[in-house]
């Protein structure tokens, strides 16, 4: 059976069918990651590993941001890198929650350079609040909650109120304002 342009109905697609197909294809991008397929919540081990890599405790209050960062990191990777990320998370998640920086560094040194690169990428995304995709496209995930503001306790994100009017004119007292 052919339509008026000589193509069969089997190969002829509407724009809507094409867009639905693209949407379905993009949703399968996360499927190779086994914890997602297994029905586990991949965020808990990801938050634990992120805490170990950044040196800052990331509790359940970071779940939403963790989901966003996890998704962004996964989408920035090709399939082999996604498998490496799964391996990195499974290896580092075995460390105790209170593992020292030295223990984490020792574990990372035993890993393949690809895994260490992924560990650096995860830490970089948490600290900067942005991710660089292939071909150099940079996307800001969350500027105000980037860990750099927690690490540098002497400052805050620009345009974030730091206290009462004129607080900036008073001498620094140390710690958070």
Count of structural domains, the chain: 1
Q: What is the pLDDT of residues 87-113, one digit of tens each?
A: 999 999 999 999 999 999 999 999 999
pTM, to two decimals = 0.67
In a domain, 73, yes or no: yes
How many Cα atoms are found within 13 Å in the side-chain-facing hemisphere of 176? 8
Nearest Cα neighbor of 45 from 99, 2, 86, 1 is: 86
In a domain, 75, yes or no: yes
In a domain, 128, yes or no: yes
In a domain, 24, yes or no: no
175 DSSP 8-state letter: S
Check residue 137 and give its pLDDT. 92
Q: State the residue range of the domain holding 66.
A: 32-152
In a domain, 143, yes or no: yes
Q: Is the dihedral of CA 92, 93, 95, 100 positive or negative?
A: positive
Nearest Cα neighbor of 32 from 93, 84, 99, 101 is: 84
Q: What is the pLDDT of residues 112-137, one digit of tens each?
A: 999 999 999 999 999 999 999 988 89
Q: What is the pLDDT of residues 10-65, one digit of tens each?
A: 445 676 666 666 555 555 455 444 444 445 567 999 999 999 999 999 999 999 99
């Amino acid at each position: 059976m052919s339509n008026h342009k000589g193509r069969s109905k089997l190969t002829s697609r509407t724009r809507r069918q094409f867009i639905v197909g693209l949407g379905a294809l993009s949703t399968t991008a996360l499927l190779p990651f086994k914890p997602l397929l297994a029905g586990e919540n991949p965020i808990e081990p990801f938050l634990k590993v992120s805490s170990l890599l950044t040196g800052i405790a990331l509790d359940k209050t970071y779940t939403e941001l963790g989901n966003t960062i996890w998704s962004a990191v996964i989408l920035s990777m090709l399939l082999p890198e996604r498998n490496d990320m799964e391996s990195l998370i499974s290896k580092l998640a075995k460390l105790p929650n209170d593992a020292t920086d030295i223990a984490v560094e020792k574990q990372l040194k035993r890993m393949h350079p690809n895994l260490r690169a992924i560990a650096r990428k995860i830490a970089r995304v948490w600290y900067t609040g942005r991710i660089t995709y292939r071909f150099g496209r940079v996307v800001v995930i969350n500027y105000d909650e980037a860990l750099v503001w927690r690490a540098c306790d002497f400052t805050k994100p620009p345009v974030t109120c730091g206290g009462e009017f004129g607080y900036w004119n008073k001498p620094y007292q140390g710690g958070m304002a």
